[in-house]
Amino acid sequence: MRMTSLLLPTEREAPADAEALSHVLGVRAGLIRQLGAGLWTWLPAGWRVHERAVGIIREEMNAIGGQEVLIPVLQPRDLWRRTGRGDLDEQFRLEDRKGSEMVLAMTHEEPMTFHMAQLVRSYRDLPKILYQFQTKGRDEPRPRAGVLRTREFIMKDAYSFDRDADGLEESYARHITAYDRIFDRAGLEWYRVESDVGMMGGSGAHEYMAPCPAGENEVALAPGYAANVEVASAEPQPVQLPAPSAAPQEVSTPGLTTVDQVSGHLGVPAGALLKAFPVVGETSGRLTLVLVRGDHRVNEVKLRNHLGEPVRAAHPAEIAAQIGPVGFIGPVGAQVPVVADLAIAQTGQGGWVAGANRPDAHLTGVEPGRDFAFEAADVRTVEEGDLVGGVPLRIEPAIEVGNIFRLGTRYSEPLGATFLDEAGVERPIVMGSYGIGPARIAAATIEQRADESGISWPRALAPWQVHVVALGKGAGPERDAAEVLYEQLLAAGIEALFDDRDAGAGEKFADAELLGCPLRITVGRRSLEEGHAEAQGRRSAVTLPGVPLGDGAVAAVTDLLAQLA
């Protein structure tokens, strides 16, 4: 591709509203442009990257027996009502001219299962893996960071159909194989982490996380351990409790309502406090008092999974009516169920500090079990430095680039996707679903590999393998030699971008570094006289061996490319 004809609007300055690196560089390098909140257009160079990611995914999905299909984005809302998903907040809804209710697909479990319900009759029709690359519409509460979280995006979504749980395990394992290869080939640093299965039930799920500063998730990492912080468990760091006493002692803590104030006033570590967090079940309406250590935070995902329903923080009025004065509540004497985090329950010690359920007062010397009844559960968020297998945990922000999910019969049952087994018994198909966001692969790659000058693509994702820069404005020997080299590369099937613009050397180099093709070949007066062009890898400042012009050029470039990642 010649840059004189390419639509590549590079910018010297970052857009004022861009924060994330992938957002800034995506716009500056001319890959993407914004149409509206969470709505992004892929320009030619950016789309080439996206399609390279798609190509890798397609190859690996085919390699595990996946079959590619294409399902409409526009769908009857009724289908979604049948699975109880006709009213989701994130769902784009519309009507056709006849007034029929339609939705834009957020994902494609419903239509996929709908088809399979009609097409699968017998256990002989299973297993199957079907996938597609298709647009998803999600009315996100807050789109952000360029293409990282958008309201419309392309997802590779795959669905597995098996006769039983063992079959699902096999399909699930195949996807792990494919996904591991996909993210390796894309050149990402990634982790496969345990993730929340949500309220959908199912027997487990994993997310593929690419660490990067703009990530919206947090992953907890230790050797041999990787989990989304939403579900991560670890051994807490110890805390020195004050000496126990025979019975709780009331102490005056006037106006002291925060953990810091109380621990400072009493001269005890924050971790010696029992932080009381009253929650109300969204469906049951039941109030529960959750206790975590004063230096810990309640993990709402783990809490929700433990209680079996979503929860919200209790309102001050509810707290005052059922437990005690806000700021001074505690488990002792509280007439509500108490859930104590394992970091408290497992110590078996006394000496804790808790609210006294009386204004301006706390209790010291509190001992769980003796002074109040509780149910023990792991409901806290892990902290950096907590131990897993004796090794301190670290926590990193990451982008979710893919997920794999055991669905079970969540969709096959309501949509009547069944088959007859050998015994003639009708059974629901056991399903899995598996997503990957190619745009997030591109964004995560930018985040992980960019430097001060711009993007640095791995060969697997680069929009072009070679960026040929002709120096010298207008016609001249450099331009002629570069022209010949460019044509040779094209003829040899090497994807090359040719900077044939009448621009200064600095501008051409700056644009080449911004765009980040793996190999830059410069044809300039300096080396032309000796009959060669200069080669520069994007990732290193080291000048590579020169490329001879003429017959050996293609072979030399091929060699250089082989040395680059």
Partner RNA sequence: CGGGGCGUGGCGCAGCCUGGUAGCGCACCUGCUUUGGGAGCAGGGGGUCGCCGGUUCGAAUCCGGCCGCCCCGACCA
Ranges of beta strands (E only) in 444-565 are 466-470, 496-499, 519-523, 532-537, 543-548
Query: How many residues in total does the chain contain?
Result: 565
Residues in contact with RNA, total (CB under 7 A)? 63
23 is an interface residue for RNA by CB under 7 A: yes
List, edge to edge, every strand of the sheet that includes 311-313.
311-313, 274-281, 287-293, 338-341, 375-377
Q: Which of 82, 144, 265, 479 binds RNA (CB under 7 A)?
A: 144
455 is an interface residue for RNA by CB under 7 A: no
CA distances from 556 to 123, 265, 449, 489 (A): 55, 73, 26, 11
**Piece of the chain touching RNA by CB under 7 A; list 320-328, 376-384, 424-432, 524-532:** 524-532
Nearer to RNA, 18 or 420 (CB): 18
Judging by DSSP bridges, how do beta strands 152-162 and 430-436 pair with one another? antiparallel
Q: Across-strand partners of 219?
A: 228, 396
341 is an interface residue for RNA by CB under 7 A: no
Nearer to RNA, 171 or 253 (CB): 171
Min separation Cβ 312 and RNA, Å: 8
435 is an interface residue for RNA by CB under 7 A: yes
* DSSP notation for 513-527: HHHT-SEEEEE-HHH
Q: Which of 121, 315, 370, 473 binds RNA (CB under 7 A)?
A: 473
Site for RNA in 54-93 (CB under 7 A): 89-90
315 is an interface residue for RNA by CB under 7 A: no
Min separation Cβ 91 and RNA, Å: 11
Nearer to RNA, 105 or 256 (CB): 105
Answer for the pair 66, 55: CB distance below 8 angstroms, yes or no.
no
453 is an interface residue for RNA by CB under 7 A: yes
Q: What is the C-alpha to C-alpha distance for residues 472 and 368, in angstroms, rounded to an integer? A: 80
173 is an interface residue for RNA by CB under 7 A: no
Dihedrals φ, ψ of 113, to 5°? -65, -35
448 is an interface residue for RNA by CB under 7 A: no
143 is an interface residue for RNA by CB under 7 A: yes
Nearer to RNA, 264 or 531 (CB): 531
Closest CA to 479 of 455, 460, 503, 495: 503
Q: What is the C-alpha to C-alpha distance for residues 120 and 438, in angstroms, rounded to an integer? A: 30
Nearer to RNA, 453 or 563 (CB): 453
Site for RNA in 378-417 (CB under 7 A): 403, 405
Q: Which of 303, 393, 415, 514 binds RNA (CB under 7 A)?
A: 514
Q: Show the binding pattern over residues 359-378: x = contacts RNA (CB under 7 A), - = does not.
A: --------------------
Q: Which of 98, 493, 506, 551 binds RNA (CB under 7 A)?
A: 506
Answer for the pair 193, 227: CB distance below 8 angstroms, yes or no.
yes
Min separation Cβ 401 and RNA, Å: 13
Dihedrals φ, ψ of 149, to 5°? -135, 105
Please tell me what DSSP assigns to residue 233: -
Nearer to RNA, 378 or 513 (CB): 513
**Piece of the chain touching RNA by CB under 7 A; list 74-82, 457-465, 521-529, 549-557:** 521-529
Answer for the pair 104, 94: CB distance below 8 angstroms, yes or no.
yes
Helices (H), 217-293: 259-266
* DSSP notation for 152-177: EEEEEEEEEEESSHHHHHHHHHHHHH
Site for RNA in 193-252 (CB under 7 A): 198-200, 216
- Quickly tell me which residue has 């460019």 as its tokens: 486
From its phi and psi, is residue 76 left (phi > 0), alpha (psi between -120 and 50) or beta? beta
Q: Which of 6, 8, 20, 24 binds RNA (CB under 7 A)?
A: 20
**Piece of the chain touching RNA by CB under 7 A; list 17-25, 97-105, 265-273, 382-390:** 17-25
Nearer to RNA, 230 or 367 (CB): 230
22 is an interface residue for RNA by CB under 7 A: no
Distance of CA 353 to the CA centre of its chain: 39
119 is an interface residue for RNA by CB under 7 A: no
Structure tokens that stand for 528 in this block: 């032309």
Q: Which of 191, 511, 535, 553 binds RNA (CB under 7 A)?
A: 511
139 is an interface residue for RNA by CB under 7 A: no
Q: Which residues bind RNA (CB under 7 A)?
A: 9-20, 23, 34, 36-39, 89-90, 106-107, 109, 140-145, 149, 198-200, 216, 300, 403, 405, 433, 435, 453, 471-474, 503-507, 509-511, 513-514, 522-528, 534, 536
